[in-house]
Amino acid sequence: MNTRRPYIVGLTGGIGSGKSAAADGFAAHGITVVDTDVIAHALTSPDGAAIPTIRRLFGEHMIAADGSMDRARMRALVFSAPESRRQLEAILHPMIQALSAQLCADATSPYVILAVPLLIESGRYRERCDRICVVDCPEALQIERVGRRSGLSASQVQAIMQAQAPRAERLAAADDVIDNSGSLDDLRKQVGILNEGYISQALLARQA
């Protein structure tokens, strides 16, 4: 296990902003990406560590035929019942925080990208980050992208967006902003420039 504290860049953005594409861009430069969405998916997949508790608290009908959490059914429930959302978060959040901390600590790249959709909303994750990078695009483009990839209606996407920090709040918290209103090549160029800066900042932090 790596005992040196890693330099952590928190990566976030609203749904449909292109956070995953940006994370892939950093990974292409050899940077370790710890994605809390990926961790959550693993925890709720067949034989995932969270499945027994989800089954016990929410019932067998929330478990799909393959043994994973029925994500569509759970999504509908937590957006209509705040108490159910709190219950699910109480199951998943401690597991995600522990696993993400371990993966960051074990990383050997010059710095670590910690990708968290609700980074701005979560004090615990913000405290772990040396720098915050926000992937941003106009809200109309977020709605269009999510609708195209998932089939959700505009109102459904807007409901998800309303559960996240407002765009202005994310931008106010950002040390760096990736403008993803253009092409994928534009995004990759911005990631490349930021990567060089983060390597330098991580080196300085280690020398301090």
Question: pLDDT tens for residues 90-147?
Answer: 999 999 999 999 999 999 999 999 999 889 887 778 889 999 999 999 989 888 888 8
- Taking only the tens place, the pLDDT of each residue in 27-81 is 999 999 999 999 999 999 999 999 999 999 999 999 999 999 999 899 889 888 8
> Which contacts (CB < 8 Å, 24+ apart) does range 147-156 have?
149/16
The pLDDT mean for the chain works out to 92
Please report the pLDDT score of residue 79 as a whole number: 81
Please report the pLDDT score of residue 2 as a whole number: 45
- Amino acid residing at 109: S
Category of 178 on φ-ψ map: left (φ > 0), alpha (ψ -120 to 50) or beta: beta
Query: What whole-number distance in Å separates Cα of residue 17 and Cα of residue 13?
Result: 6
Query: What whole-number distance in Å separates Cα of residue 61 and Cα of residue 94?
Result: 24
Beta-bridge partner residues of 113:
9, 33
Q: pTM of this prediction?
A: 0.89
